[in-house]
Amino acid sequence: MQPEQPAGDRILPDLTPENRAFWTGGANGELHIQRCEACRRWTHPPRNACGDCGGTLSPEPVSGRGSVFSFTVNHQSFRPGVATPYVIAIVELAEQADLRVPTNLVDCLGENVRCGLPVEVRFEALGEVFMPVFAPCEGA
């Protein structure tokens, strides 16, 4: 069973000054994550100040690589137009041990997903929004 990409009927995010770089950076093929200008820690989801030191956050591109921290394969249709099954995952980005992004996995068989699977970002172009999703790395 090949999960279909749940594109086409996605609920799009409201863009804010804090999250705009995350949702639109894919236009340049880059995943942007906020980073503290003072202590240099990465932060996600977007917020208005560093949770550790209160410093100013600004978006910086990351490698787009990470690994599956946790996942579930969804077989229930919650929205007409979104094909099932699909994989909901939390991906831990390579840049920092606790830097995690809720996302979908694409181009993989649900039964082949495992925690620790190396993945890399891809983007689904949905107008102004470039939805970050992840797929297994080549050879993973």
By CB under 5 A, is residue 33 in contact with Zn ion? no
**What order of strands is seen across the sheet that includes strand 31-36?**
42-43, 31-36, 57-62
Residue choice 1, 27, 39, 137 for contact with Zn ion (CB under 5 A): 39
User: What are the residues whose beta carbons fall under 8 Å from the beta carbon of 118, sequence distance 6 or more?
Assistant: 65, 66, 67, 136, 137, 140
- Least distance to Zn ion, CB of residue 38, Å: 5
| 12 interacts with Zn ion by CB under 5 A | no
By CB under 5 A, tell whether 98 contacts Zn ion: no
Q: Which is nearer to Zn ion, 13 or 54 (CB)?
A: 54
Q: State residue 85 phi and psi, 5-degree precision.
A: -80, 160
Distance from C-alpha of 120 to C-alpha of 122, rounded to nearest angstrom: 7
- Total residues at interface with Zn ion (CB under 5 A): 7
Phi, psi of 111 (to 5 degrees): -75, -10
Q: Closest distance between Zn ion and the C-beta of residue 43, in Å?
A: 8
Chain residues that interact with Zn ion, rule: CB under 5 A: 36, 38-39, 50, 52-53, 55
